Structure 1
Amino acid sequence: MKLTWVCKTFEALSGAEVYVIGHLRQEVFVVEQDCPYLDFDNLDQICAHMMAFNEQNELMAYTRLVPKGGSYENDISIGRVVTSPKARGNGLGRQLMEKSMDSCWELWGKQNIRISAQDYLLKFYTSLGCKSCHSLDGSKGTGPTFQGMWGKSRSFSDGSSGTVDENYVRESLLEPL
């Protein structure tokens, strides 16, 4: 499959591009993955948008590249990672992430990139060189999500429990999943 890769600021996106981005994100995240949430969250306007179009000009893959101060105060991040159901199983996800990471570094310099993902993608992101620790906010995402959790306790389905304290944070950092 021949693809054309484009990375644009929000201001440079055409109305048609905004539409197909929204359509693909809704198709996969809301319909396919049954994760209803407000997708247009007012971050798109400050982000760069990595897109891969096929020869018929259909959007096959997309990520949102988020500057510091967007999703995370001190980190750049990659979010809304999505491939079209038509284009899966041929390594497109890896290409998408590699191009997205390279674009982040071109835009904002070589630095850590923070990615929050669902658990089933942990091996994929680890294969790209990402380091991970489990979510502390109870979500199914992976990534260091410590904000607002200090001192809170949680009971788990196996009957055990844990409290977010110095020992918990140390273990999470030294022994990630």
Structure 2
Amino acid sequence: MAGPSPSMFQRRLRPPTILGIQRCDPCTRLTPWIPVSAQARLMSGTREILRSQQGLTEHANYHEYCKLLGRLKTNYQLSELVNVENYAEWIQLVAEFTIKSLQSWQWASGSVFYLLGLWGRLVSSMPYLKGDSPSMLESYVPQITEAYITSRLDSVHAIVTVPPHPFPPLLCSQDPEDV
């Protein structure tokens, strides 16, 4: 007994259509079939998270979100990202998020590495960008650079202005009454 022919199998996998409009199986309403790329879905999802800030107050979520953003450029070319719908809003939100992360260096110090990696890869791929779509990196990278330098200076200032330890480092192992 032979199995179903490939053409029959392929027909079953295709979504049912009516006049070129894909029908949603779980429901009966009709929706237009619009192919959306994976990077468009990722950028749309990350954009919505940045808009709502949902879950980013929890440190573990925040850290994983920064890792996700850091890996976006690893998987996609800058020319692909620039051509995605709503790229301008996405890059603006990512820049603002990066600047806020740099300003809160005490809370997000381990996560900033991934964001800086994203921006480093975006900038290093600018010479290879072809096409008419603007990357908009020229306007955001100086702001991020300034925020990074300011955050490093703030961290040095915080360390320098910490009140001195009551016992010198060499005497810390001794009992305070013996000093």
What is the TM-score normalised by the length of structure 1?
0.25
Give the greater-gyration-radius structure (CA).
2
Structure number with the higher strand fraction is: 1
Q: Which has the higher contact order (CA 8 A, sep 6+)?
A: 2
